[in-house]
Amino acid sequence: MRLDKFLKISRIIKRRTVAKDIADQGRITINDRVAKSSSNVNSNDKLVIKFGNKTLTVQVNQLFETTKKADADRMYTVLDEQYERDFNAE
């Protein structure tokens, strides 16, 4: 499955165009390799996604062509979530 489609269906990123833009900027890695939006995602892949202040690391569990909102979180497991700067601490 394409990376941008996986991010949309799993609801990690709400819109496929936004997922494509982030991937094509080099802010997503699959198994420690920089990925483009057209890169293939497979089960057991490790994704590292850099949103502005946040870095999210997920493990891909399953791939579904379509899914309901309640089942989307079964597609991945969050391994780590880090923030470069904690705005709540200030």
Calpha distance 76→41 (Å, rounded): 12
pTM: 0.84
Angle (CA) 50-66-8 rounded to 5° is: 20
Note the helical H segments in 1-90.
3-9, 16-24
* pLDDT 10s digits, 40-64: 999 999 999 998 889 999 999 989 8
pLDDT of residue 90: 57
